[in-house]
Chains A and B, each alone.
Chain A
């Protein structure tokens, strides 16, 4: 059994093409119905997100499977294979497993380490299971990819550290305050980025939002969205006493919040920490504010360099993450290899059991005695004989699964025990009779 993956992603295909090949999100049943009807491989999963379209299959005949997947994609979307063939990548077993692990760990994402992809992969797997498209191999592969992603997330910093300006501001706020629950956020000016930062802060528990703006109308509008308060810019001195995080983004040409204004409220604030996020250009907050005790100021350039640094850190962490992915890939391939010896072991056991039963019934029918103990003893004797005789060959086959020449060993075993059912001069007990 092999695993094959056919797909395209944000690196190989433009968004127009990805859109056209994406699965109809409302009708996964239809997609799986088509896959199951049009193809004859055992297991499949259809992963479709805005950055990738991939089909994963477990099959014996890889070339055939690849052709079938391509024609499925073409017919399901009403396209010619040629229109997207160049953008497709085809990966076989080792590469495919590694790729799935990398995707799950968000190492293949447009924004390295973004967390959504794991959820999307889980959802795709659930759909596949619901539609009975998966089997033991892909199930195991998916579970392993989830645990690999978890390892990557906990053991490396690939997913930590914000890579957007507004989220970097939130992260800083958390490093200053610890818990953001119950903190007051003051928006000075109501730009788009300020809005975004406020949303993030709210998501982290900052419940109270005050919007101060030059035009009160806009302030009221924004404030009502978060059930916050609107205020005029003139009220700033009083508001500075209350606020914990100040996000300023006015279009004012001069400084809106002076160091003196901040210094004068420190005592009234009882020295509670105050964090200024100044995303306005030109800047709204006097840079000298940062020198005050318990007051912190980050302007847009500071935040940008934080984001840059975080990006670089993620790239560095990615090296460690790739190592984890490689480790897990090796482990998974090891499991798959042992899987290949299973049919041989089963055949070996079946054959022995078959012979044992045949010989046992022959012997028992010829036996004069009706003594149940004797009969039972004979039965046990046959059982332990076959078990003990088979023990070494089975161990040999199991170990063969881990050797490079495993095909040779498996073939040898099947030949020695004639497990392929070929007729021969001395092939099995039944024929002898």
Chain B
């Protein structure tokens, strides 16, 4: 229950953070955004504590049901936002990230958690690694998507000679493209590691590395999209608009892989089958 308390506290701090970013957006007060970033940092700490407590109680990262997965994704997003803030100092990204974090964590905080018992098969360090790396990768891709959207918007302003409010508020194309590159450079290896550790775990527990399960297929598609983007970036020097569009496409596939497959397609990765494993 302490975990729930921490989660609610975290949700509240994220709310404050998001409010700070709205103040920043409307009143153009950079100080508000900096304070909000600190608040998000505090929320990240509280949220981390709540996740840690849950993980200790159940023996596995609390991501095996929808609520847990949403919350954990919010947590990794907050972490990646902080990393990107430290690396690029872009306050405007918080305007995009903080409401997303808030929405995810509110979903997770309002719904009461299910029973913490987890099937013994799911208590494995390999699975923890699998989940941790996949979610970190997702979070980087998520913010690459945010940067990509801002890039496309800003490029439209500049090419269309519209130098109004949107143009002024958005960061430079150069920084947005750098951010896209940076997120890809970390997100892609994370995702790769996630697939590898998942395969090893599957081999250890199910006896096969790969079962062409819908989740696995879609993850492969996702991996290929980002691999293509990375390849084009490195080999041909793709950048800017095309890279931004790819990041947006990649994230759309990601959302489907993350939510759609887990909820609607018959897959042993789905929350439903994970739940049944728990009941067994």
The interface centre, meaning the residue of A174, A269, A271, A293 with most chain B CB atoms within 10 A of its CB, is: A271
Q: Is A10 interfacial (CB-CB < 8 Å)?
A: no
Cβ 8 A contact of B240, one of A178, A273, A305:
A273
**Residue in A267, A294, A305, A313 whose CB lies within 8 Å of B239:** A294
Q: Chain A residues near B175: list those with CB within 8 A.
A: 178
Instruction: Give the one of B163, B172, B236, B237 with max A CB within 10 A.
Output: B163
A178 touches B178 (CB 8 A): yes
> At the interface, yes or no: B171 with Cβ under 8 Å from chain A?
yes
Tell me the total A-B contact number using a CB cutoff of 8 A. Answer: 65
Q: Are B238 and A271 in contact (CB under 8 A)?
A: yes
* A 167-191 contacts with B by CB, 8 A: 172, 174-179
Quick check: B174 and A176 within 8 Å, CB to CB? yes
Instruction: In the complex, identify which listed stretch (A23-31, A153-161, A415-423) lies at the interface while the others stay far away.
Output: A153-161
Query: Residue of B at shortest CB range from A293?
Result: B241
Tell which of B12-20, B22-30, B105-113, B259-267 binds the partner. Answer: B22-30
Considering the complex, give the chain A residue whose CB is closest to the CB of B31.
Answer: A154
| Chain B interface, DSSP helix/strand/loop, else mixed | helix
For residue B164, CB closer than 8 A to chain A, the reply is: yes
User: B87 in the interface, Cβ–Cβ < 8 Å?
Assistant: no
* Distance, CA A179 to CA B237, complexed state (A): 19
Asked if B158 CB lies within 8 Å of chain A CBs, one says: yes
A178 and B172 within 8 A (CB): yes
Number of interface residues of A (CB under 8 A): 30
Q: Please give me the residue from chain A that is nearest to B170 by CB atom.
A: A175
Can you list, as one digit per residue, whether each of B216-242 has a CB less than 8 Å from chain A (1) or not (0)? Answer: 000000000000000000001111111
Roughly how many angstroms separate A177 CA and B171 CA in the complex, as a whole number? 10
CB nearest to B232 among chain A residues = A271
For A303, give the chain B residue with the smallest CB separation.
Answer: B161
Q: Is the CB of A294 within 8 A of B240?
A: yes
- Within residues 188 to 243 of chain B, which ones have a CB less than 8 A from any CB in chain A? 236-242
CB nearest neighbor in A for B243:
A271
Chain A residue with the shortest CB-CB distance to B165: A313
Give the docked Cα–Cα distance between A160 and B30 (Å).
14
> Given A172-B158, A305-B161, does the pair A178, B236 have CB atoms closer than 8 Å?
no
21 A-B contacts (beta carbon < 8 Å): A157-B28, A172-B158, A172-B163, A175-B172, A177-B173, A178-B172, A178-B178, A179-B174, A271-B239, A272-B239, A273-B174, A290-B159, A293-B240, A293-B241, A294-B240, A294-B241, A296-B158, A296-B159, A298-B161, A305-B161, A313-B168
Give the 6 A-B residue pairs with the shortest CB-CB distance, closest first: A178-B174, A270-B237, A178-B172, A178-B175, A177-B174, A294-B240
Given A154-B30, A271-B239: 14 more A-B contacts, CB < 8 Å: A157-B168, A172-B158, A172-B163, A175-B154, A175-B167, A177-B173, A271-B238, A271-B240, A272-B237, A273-B173, A293-B242, A294-B241, A296-B159, A310-B163
